[in-house]
Amino acid sequence: MKIVVLERNSVGPDISVSCLEELGEVTFYPNTVTLDEVRERVKDADIIVANKSPMREESLKDAPNVKLVCEFATGYDNVDLAYCKSRGIKVCNVVDYSTAMVAQHTFTLALALSQKLFHYDQYVKSGAYAAQDRFSNFDVPFYELEGKTWGIVGMGNIGRRVARIATDLGCRVIFHSIIGRSRVTDYPQVDKDTLLAESDFLSLHCPLSDLSRNFIDAAALKKMKKSAVLINVARGPVVNNTDLYHALVDGEIMAAGLDVLEQEPITASNPLSLLQDSDKIIITPHLAWASVEARMRCVEGVYENIKAFQHGEPKHVVNP
């Protein structure tokens, strides 16, 4: 089988992908951006491995042999599932490979913001601590997680992991299901207004859909506590970036930690790029999923998906 890997570097050049060569004749491309590039590179492929490259009629119509599209990811926003199904093309993703790291990053952002770590680190490095005559400094107040309410949107694998950690840290956990069909019963499920009004920390772990797009907008931010911390490690468009900018500038919420943005990489037109106060906002470059261990698991997941398909037992199919 001819396997085309369109975005080999999406898992990092430091991670080996040589295992895929056991499964067929593999062509690796470091990155594939444009529709024309996709169309040309997949025209003879039996199997495509992609991440962000568009997988839809315009890019696949001249690729008659394609039988499988494997995502180097859990998300599959780049794929037209209906079109692939109409062609008999299976689409598979990799599940649960980054759960531990995304949950860890959620709390890294939340704790750095709530404990004002950047302020106090700079206080020491500026020489102010060395110049004072007392052993401690706590001029900017910070608070414990113990006793706070941690709100969650999206109770999948990552949301449940975050809920367990938050509970261990002494938080009361509540959650909201955008589709309203969650089977999770370990934590109270609340409506959106209750979630916004009661959450001291609100973390987003939902997929992007028409229901979740702009879930956090100006109206939602006005309903949150002024002391609230918002964490988005889901998808960028779940949060309206312009509305969040105004909410932070106007003090409608205390802080935000983002690993995803409406457009990536960040553009000069995104007003959040104007905010330089790291006690108010931390933005990381879509790396919450990308620990060394997680990227190794992602490659292994793609390998297993292709092997299972070749053995006639496809798994993790998202367009059955």
* 36 and 117 within one domain: no
**Which are the contacts of 141, defined by CB distance < 8 A and separation ≥ 6?**
none
* 198 and 63 within one domain: no
* 167 and 33 within one domain: no
- CATH number of residue 244's parent domain: 3.40.50.720
Question: How large is the average pLDDT for residues 160-182?
Answer: 96
pLDDT band at 267 (very low <50, low <70, confident <90, very high): very high
* 85 and 180 within one domain: no
Nearest C-alpha neighbor of 49 from the set 11, 106, 83: 11
* 150 and 272 within one domain: yes
Question: How large is the average pLDDT for residues 227-242?
Answer: 98
Q: Is the pLDDT of residue 127 over 90?
A: yes
In a domain, 196, yes or no: yes
pLDDT digits (tens, 9 = 90+) for 37-61: 999 999 999 999 999 999 999 999 9
**Which are the contacts of 74, defined by CB distance < 8 A and separation ≥ 6?**
93, 94, 95, 96, 97, 98
pLDDT digits (tens, 9 = 90+) for 283-298: 999 999 999 999 999 9
* Percent of the chain scoring above 90 in pLDDT: 98
Ramachandran angles phi, psi of 45, nearest 5°? -80, 145
Query: Could you say which of 235, 295, 297, 316 is catalytic?
Result: 235
* 201 and 55 within one domain: no
Question: How large is the average pLDDT for residues 73-89?
Answer: 95
Query: Rounded to whole angstroms, how far apart are CA atoms 66 and 2?
Result: 9
Question: Any catalytic annotation for residue 176?
Answer: no
In a domain, 318, yes or no: no
Query: Could you say which of 25, 144, 264, 293 is catalytic?
Result: 264
Q: Which residues pair with 48 in a beta bridge?
A: 4, 69
Query: Could you say which of 119, 164, 213, 286 is catalytic?
Result: 286
47 neighbors 4 (Cβ within 8 angstroms): yes
In a domain, 316, yes or no: no
* 117 and 59 within one domain: no
The pTM is what?
Answer: 0.92
Q: Is the pLDDT of residue 72 over 90?
A: yes
Q: Is the pLDDT of residue 161 over 90?
A: yes
Element (H, E) at 28: strand 25-28
pLDDT at residue number 236: 97
Q: DSSP secondary-structure letter at 25?
A: E
Q: Is the pLDDT of residue 2 over 90?
A: yes
Element (H, E) at 12: none
Question: Any catalytic annotation for residue 264?
Answer: yes
Q: Is the pLDDT of residue 181 over 90?
A: no
What is the full DSSP assignment across 129-197?
Answer: HHHSSSS----S----STT-EEEEE--SHHHHHHHHHHHHTT-EEEEE-SSS-----SS-B--HHHHHH
Domain tally, the chain:
2
Question: Any catalytic annotation for residue 25?
Answer: no
Residues spanned by the domain of 39: 2-97+292-310
In a domain, 130, yes or no: yes
* 175 and 59 within one domain: no
Q: Is the pLDDT of residue 111 over 90?
A: yes
pLDDT at residue number 125: 98
pLDDT at residue number 153: 98
* 175 and 262 within one domain: yes
* 265 and 182 within one domain: yes
In a domain, 317, yes or no: no
| Helix 292-310 × helix 99-114 angle, to 10° | 150
* 139 and 42 within one domain: no
In a domain, 34, yes or no: yes
pLDDT digits (tens, 9 = 90+) for 91-106: 999 999 999 999 999 9
In a domain, 105, yes or no: yes
pLDDT digits (tens, 9 = 90+) for 201-220: 999 999 999 999 999 999 99
* 212 and 181 within one domain: yes
